[in-house]
Amino acid sequence: MRSEKGSSGLKLRIVLLGEKGVGKSAIAVRFLCGRYLHEYDPNLECCYDKHEIIDGKTVKIEIFDTAGQDVLDNYLKNADAVLYVYSITSEKSFAAAKSFREELLLGDKSHIPVILLGNKRELEQGRQVSYKDGFTLARETNWKFYEMSAAVDTHRINDMVLNLASELLAETKKSNRQRRTWKIKRAMSILNVHIHQPKHSSFPSVLMPLTENKTDPPRSPALPQHPRLANRRQTCPAL
Ligand SMILES: Nc1nc2c(ncn2[C@@H]2O[C@H](COP(=O)(O)OP(=O)(O)OP(=O)(O)O)[C@@H](O)[C@H]2O)c(=O)[nH]1
Ligand SMILES: [Mg+2]
């Protein structure tokens, strides 16, 4: 998740990937417009993003629907998360999910959060991929897993995306906090170097007294001492 340019809000870009016909556009339309694919006319309305209040913050959620004509790297370049869709009625689309996992690992992109989504779950009679297989693939790769239907599940897709946004927002807050702590620690260590300057450093010590008088001898050994005071120090330990 990143800050949106020119605004105080945050932006989350989710890229939809998966084989042809698995229901990527149907899922995008369901989330963005709350309707099923055939109830949506792309000539009359255009939905790409949606603003949601998540944990008190405004988040612009962009859904990037793909059609498989570009190389994976181009899609992943600006992705904060991937929604990988297969159809539970297509073993082939599930095999593609496995290949996608390999590609991510080989391309060193396994840090990108992925949700594996088995779509068309209401078509139980045509099922070719078991729930267990989907669940196992996701667990092996530390992905989240859901089975859903863009056709009949009106709220679950929404809830799933909002959950993801909420988790990513929490992670962003955590890493910002860590970055702030790191900056403070770094500033402290720089300060520390100055406090413990070597005796004859050309830089003045931070703890050096600003004024100097004879009754209050300077504590820094780097400063020259008056010879009389040095003698008195030897005979009078209180000084
Ligand atoms: N029964 C059922 N059909 C669905 C579901 N989701 C999508 N479909 C149908 O599956 C077909 C393909 O859906 P799309 O959303 O166009 O699939 P896509 O992944 O965007 O396909 P491409 O853009 O060609 O890659 C359409 O006929 C949809 O109506 C679902 O949950 N259940
Ligand atoms: Mg499509």
For residue 200, pLDDT beyond 60: no
The pLDDT, as a whole number, for residue 185 is 83
| Tally of domains in the chain | 1
Q: Dihedrals φ, ψ of 119, to 5°? A: -90, 170
Say how many Å lie between the CA of residue 74 and the centre of ligand 1: 23
For residue 144, pLDDT beyond 70: yes
Range in 29-43, 130-144, 174-188, 192-206 the model is least confident about: 192-206
Q: For the residues 164-190, what does the mean pLDDT come to? A: 83
Structural domain contains residue 237? no
DSSP output for 77-127: TT-SEEEEEEETT-HHHHHHHHHHHHHHHHTT-TTS-EEEEEE-TT-GGG-
Residue 92 domain boundaries: 2-172
pLDDT for 52-87, tens place per residue?
888 888 899 999 888 866 677 888 888 999 999 999
Structural domain contains residue 219? no
Report the percent of the chain where pLDDT is more than 70: 72
Exposed/middle/buried for residue 26 (C-beta within 10 Å: 0-12, 13-18, 19+): buried
The pLDDT, as a whole number, for residue 210 is 47
Range in 27-31, 97-101, 127-131, 136-140 the model is least confident about: 27-31
Decide whether any atom of ligand 1 lies within 6 Å of the 121 Cβ. no
For residue 168, pLDDT beyond 70: yes
Mean pLDDT, all residues of the chain: 80
Structural domain contains residue 54? yes
The residue type found at 64 is F
For residue 126, pLDDT beyond 90: yes
Are the C-beta atoms of 5 and 62 separated by less than 8 Å? no
Structural domain contains residue 150? yes
Say how many Å lie between the CA of residue 130 and the centre of ligand 1: 19
- CA 194, CA 201: separation in Å to the nearest integer? 10
Structural domain contains residue 210? no
Structural domain contains residue 47? yes
Q: Residue with the nearest Cα to atom 28 of ligand 1?
A: 23
Structural domain contains residue 228? no
Ligand nearest to the CA of 123: 1
The pLDDT, as a whole number, for residue 239 is 44
pLDDT for 147-158, tens place per residue?
999 999 988 999
- CATH value at residue 11: 3.40.50.300
Q: For the residues 1-15, what does the mean pLDDT come to? A: 75
Structural domain contains residue 231? no
Decide whether any atom of ligand 1 lies within 6 Å of the 25 Cβ. yes
